[in-house]
Structure 1
């Protein structure tokens, strides 16, 4: 049994597509199909049900998936540890970044890290914080950036940003220029939201419910600049972090501080507690913590900082 065959099978099962798996693995689709066919022949079982272009995992496939995850993770740990023993300062890191976080905080960090460690490659996946957290937990990603709080039983982490959400309204809106706004004042407004796979989506809905109303969502997007453009076009109002508001201001929108309640946006870098981290991944964690001024969550509590 070839470890590569297991890797191809896991990626195809995860993406439910031979084509997408081949793209993700940077190999040809026939190579993926052949490897999985050989694996099925060796095991004497059909692992994937091919229905047109759609691929579904069979009962036998689900059994193999659980074992294959453990096998490939053990092999990855072995390779990483041997690399560390050889003091090879090179490697590959899979990092998950929500789009607005990546563009606001990480371009300079990634550039500086590459200058220091030119032989370490970074593969960046842009997804909402919910997806990033799930992928780090599953081992699909080595490191992720998420909105805190999260489960400290599963992850190690450090926090590097803490901002309030502000209200963004069209420049012609009645609240434009107001010194502040209360969430309860927005009960009759249309809202432009981040998509459901963004932590802020649920966070804002919960805050609105506590303020006594169900927000009327007219548009959802994964891009903060598109959200601000939708607000400028008069489709609705939005709640965005201070960093994003600074970039959005002056684009036919007005930014109004939100009070009662203050909604906090706290960002952290996370990685699995129980998973071996390669030399490259450990260097990335240390480098970004130093660059961003991050502090471990447990230390922030002792220092009296606001929690997640």
Structure 2
């Protein structure tokens, strides 16, 4: 059975005869007649009562017509929906994000993108950089934000921004009035660190090890608000990106780290060779263009 055969059959019924259907479809009447005969032969049925002067469906033809109309309607809807997707009128973006990033950078982009494509929907899953990579590997999200660089054999990447890291302490801490503090001076301090799935935690530990010590950890936390509250209560100090430090309360002091500056590089990544839908590809381009304007 061919799609055209169904179409011809339906138009014969709608137009009241083969001649009228042929005129409507701009095809020869013999083509219409042959299509119907092929359908009848394929299903071993009689669709039209040919003993009548005017075209009339048999009982089988009535059922066949209803199902043919249903099929053609579903096909038309499928075509419209696929066109919407290809033209980025519809679609779904699955994004993995760390709560430690500049959230406004992503939400501003999504807001502007949504104004342009109002039928696009979004799903955001939170987690540290390692968790985001895990989500991508398991196809639980399509794209995500993590620390760069990443394994280029596994992921495509697009740089977003880099931030300097700062020491944050409670206002009554002995370092609170200092302009700069060296990491080596933190040897005996208690740290509030991020959870294991955050690359930022690895960076802090690595820089402490370069100075000959492993940071004493009083807590491992993944929620930014809880980290801030721990510091505000004098339960420890931490090292965070500038944008995170600036979100903390006035009771927290942000202090520059002495020596070579330490930067946190963030980027958008997606799995190499994996299917990425049209709307997600379009948003990646949209985000890239918006970054150029900043």
**Normalized against structure 2, the TM-score is what?**
0.68
- TM superposition shift of 1:88: 5.2
Q: Assess, with a 3 A threshold, how the Cα gap between structure 1 residues 211 and 89 changes in structure 2: closer, same or farther.
A: same
Alpha-carbon separation, structure 1, partners of 2:85 and 2:107: 31
Alpha-carbon separation, structure 2, partners of 1:86 and 1:179: 54
Alpha-carbon separation, structure 1, partners of 2:160 and 2:214: 31
When structure 1 is superposed on structure 2, of 180-189 and 283-292 the one drifting more is: 283-292
Alpha-carbon separation, structure 2, partners of 1:240 and 1:88: 38
Q: CA offsets per residue over residues 26-85 of structure 1, 9 Å max, x none?
A: xxxxxxxxxxxxxxxxxxxxxxxxxxxxxxxxxxxxxxxxxxxxxxxxxxxxx9xx6688
Alpha-carbon separation, structure 2, partners of 1:179 and 1:85: 54
Structure 2 matches for 1:276-295, cutoff 5 A?
276-293=275-292
User: 1:48 maps to what in 2?
Assistant: none
Matched residue SS, 2:246:
helix
Question: Which of the two has higher C-alpha Rg?
Answer: 2
User: 2:273 maps to what in 1?
Assistant: 274
User: 1:162 maps to what in 2?
Assistant: 162
Matched residue SS, 2:101:
helix
Alpha-carbon separation, structure 2, partners of 1:285 and 1:191: 36
- TM superposition shift of 1:103: 3.1
Give the CA RMSD over aligned residues.
Answer: 2.2
User: 1:113 maps to what in 2?
Assistant: 113
- TM superposition shift of 1:181: 1.0
Alpha-carbon separation, structure 1, partners of 2:196 and 2:244: 19
Is residue 169–residue 253 contact of structure 2 (8 Å, CA) maintained in 1?
yes
Alpha-carbon separation, structure 2, partners of 1:161 and 1:227: 23
User: 1:188 maps to what in 2?
Assistant: 188
Q: Assess, with a 3 A threshold, how the Cα gap between structure 1 residues 151 and 115 changes in structure 2: closer, same or farther.
A: same
Alpha-carbon separation, structure 1, partners of 2:175 and 2:105: 29
Is residue 168–residue 245 contact of structure 1 (8 Å, CA) maintained in 2?
yes
Matched residue SS, 2:273:
coil
| Structure 1 unmatched ranges of 5 or more | 1-78, 296-308
Is residue 192–residue 238 contact of structure 1 (8 Å, CA) maintained in 2?
yes
User: 2:228 maps to what in 1?
Assistant: 228
Matched residue SS, 1:248:
coil
When structure 1 is superposed on structure 2, of 201-210 and 257-266 the one drifting more is: 257-266
- Is the aligned partner of 1:175 residue 2:175? yes
User: 1:262 maps to what in 2?
Assistant: 261
**Normalized against structure 1, the TM-score is what?**
0.65
Alpha-carbon separation, structure 1, partners of 2:272 and 2:155: 5
Structure 2 matches for 1:43-62, cutoff 5 A?
none
Residue-pair matches, total: 214
Alpha-carbon separation, structure 2, partners of 1:186 and 1:278: 47
Q: Assess, with a 3 A threshold, how the Cα gap between structure 1 residues 210 and 83 changes in structure 2: closer, same or farther.
A: farther
Alpha-carbon separation, structure 2, partners of 1:219 and 1:165: 19
Is residue 102–residue 243 contact of structure 2 (8 Å, CA) maintained in 1?
no
Is residue 84–residue 90 contact of structure 2 (8 Å, CA) maintained in 1?
no
| Structure 2 unmatched ranges of 5 or more | 1-78
Structure 2 matches for 1:1-308, cutoff 5 A?
87=87, 89-101=89-101, 103-250=103-250, 252-293=251-292
